Structure formats: C-alpha cells, structure tokens
A and B are shown apart, each in its own frame.
Chain A
Amino acid sequence: DAKTTQPTSMDCAEGRAANLPCNHSTISGNEYVYWYRQIHSQGPQYIIHGLKNNETNEMASLIITEDRKSSTLILPHATLRDTAVYYCIVSVSGGYQKVTFGTGTKLQVIP
C-alpha cells in the first residue's frame, strides 16, 4: 500500500472551512484514497473515499488532484465537534485491513 504524508497539526476557526491536505505520490492506479477521523478516546470513524473523481457526502468533500498524487479533505463548516485526528489512507478496495493509519493530522477547531 502507498504511504501518505499529512501535516502534524492544523487549526481552524469555528464556522470556517477546514482543508486538510494529504500527499500520496506513490499511489497506484487501483488504490483508493480514504479518510477516517478519530475523536479523542473513540475509535476511528469513516468519513469519505474516492478513486479519481471528487466526492461529496453529508460529512465532507474530497478533492483529488488530476495526477492523484495528493488530495484534500474539506469540512465545509467546521464545528467544535470536528476536533479530531484525521487520517488519510490509500488502499485497494476491500484491503483496508492491511493498512497503517499513521499519525494523521490533529485538527483543532477554535471557537
């Protein structure tokens, strides 16, 4: 599985959009980009995933660059409850069990 690089931490003002970047320059053609988040003392929660097209669901939007070497998770209107560690993962579909979540990005939403 391809490795990912994320900033260690980010701050975002409440009500503003939070844009979390992820680099995955060694991603292969059949690997998806997945985003999870982990709120303190809870297990990771699935957010969104995509292959090459941009995706949107009720939680977030995922923007994948044309060369697929990087992506951005967008939380359109961050709330205090969005404070969490966000993990960007690349894996073949169905292969999630083998991935390493890494250390992710600690997002702090500020009132």
Chain B
Amino acid sequence: KAGVTQTPRYLIKTRGQQVTLSCSPISGHRSVSWYQQTPGQGLQFLFEYFSETQRNKGNFPGRFSGRQFSNSRSEMNVSTLELGDSALYLCASSSQGQSFTDTQYFGPGTRLTVL
C-alpha cells in the first residue's frame, strides 16, 4: 500500500497570504488528522476529519480550516498567514480514528515558512 502523501513538501509564503496544503491518506483509511509541529510548542493537534465531516478540533484560531473529500483526501487552509505559522504540518491517517491506540500513519509533512 502506498503511504500517506502530502503536497507540497516545502512552501514559502509571506505574511497575509493564504495557503492550502493537501494530504492523501492510505487507501481505505477514512480518518485524517492534521498536526502542527514547531520547536517551541511541540506537536499540536489541529483537527480530524472522518467521512467528510470534522469530528474533532484542537485549540487553533479560525484562520486554520480544513475539509475532506469523498475519496478521503483532505486539504488544510491557513488564511492571513502570520510569522508564527511557520511550522511542519503533519497529516496522519487511520482506519477509523476512534481510539488513541489506533495506529496513525503519518505523512512526511509540509514545511511552511512564512516570511
């Protein structure tokens, strides 16, 4: 099976712009979660989608949004970018995503730099 893929791998934007990141889960997986990882804050949960519905949401401002398509592919959007949004954005997929012990398969991440 192909793994979780994320595009693009690297992105450079300027403050005020918006960005869209894409994640393709493992075939058959219906749950897609997004995480932000920074040196200062560590790995933080953004949101999780299951069957095209946002099922869980972390403590991030409304500038961070996402969606999931019928084929389980997911996109994450960040509007009005700030310098503090520079981070590695990880996407993870799992079969059902209902249990903490469900194995999550992480993608390689998208490194976003905001100048």
CB distance from B96 to the nearest CB of A (A): 10
Select from chain A the residue with minimum beta-carbon distance to B44: A100
Q: How large is the interface on A (under 10, 10 to 19, 20 to 34, 35 or more residues)?
A: 20 to 34
**How far apart sit A2 and B101, CA to CA, in the bound complex (Å)?**
18
Would you call B45 an interface residue if the criterion is a C-beta within 8 Å of the partner chain's C-beta atoms?
A: yes
In the complex, number of A-B residue pairs with CB atoms less than 8 Å apart: 66
Nearest chain B CB to A27 CB, angstrom units: 15
Instruction: Across the interface, name the chain A residue whose C-beta is closest to B100.
Output: A96
Which of these binds chain A: B13-21, B61-69, B73-81, B102-110?
A: B102-110
Measured between beta carbons, the chain B residues less than 8 angstroms from A96 are 45, 99-100
Residues of B within 8 Å of A91, CB to CB, are: 100
In the complex, which residues of chain B have a beta carbon less than 8 angstroms from the beta carbon of A34?
A: 100
Once the chains bind, are A43 and B92 in contact (CB under 8 Å)? yes
| B104 in contact with A43 (CB, 8 Å) | yes
Interface residues of A in 42-62 (CB under 8 A from B): 42-44, 46, 49
Interface size on B, residues (CB 8 A): 30
Cα distance A104–B41 when bound, in Å? 10
B33 close to chain A: CB less than 8 A: yes
A98 touches B100 (CB 8 A): no
A-B contact pairs, 18 of them (CB 8 A): A34-B100, A42-B106, A43-B104, A44-B104, A46-B104, A87-B42, A94-B98, A94-B100, A96-B100, A97-B45, A97-B56, A97-B97, A98-B45, A98-B56, A100-B43, A101-B42, A102-B41, A103-B39
Residue numbers of B with Cβ under 8 A of A are: 33, 35, 39-45, 47-48, 55-59, 90, 92, 97-101, 103-109
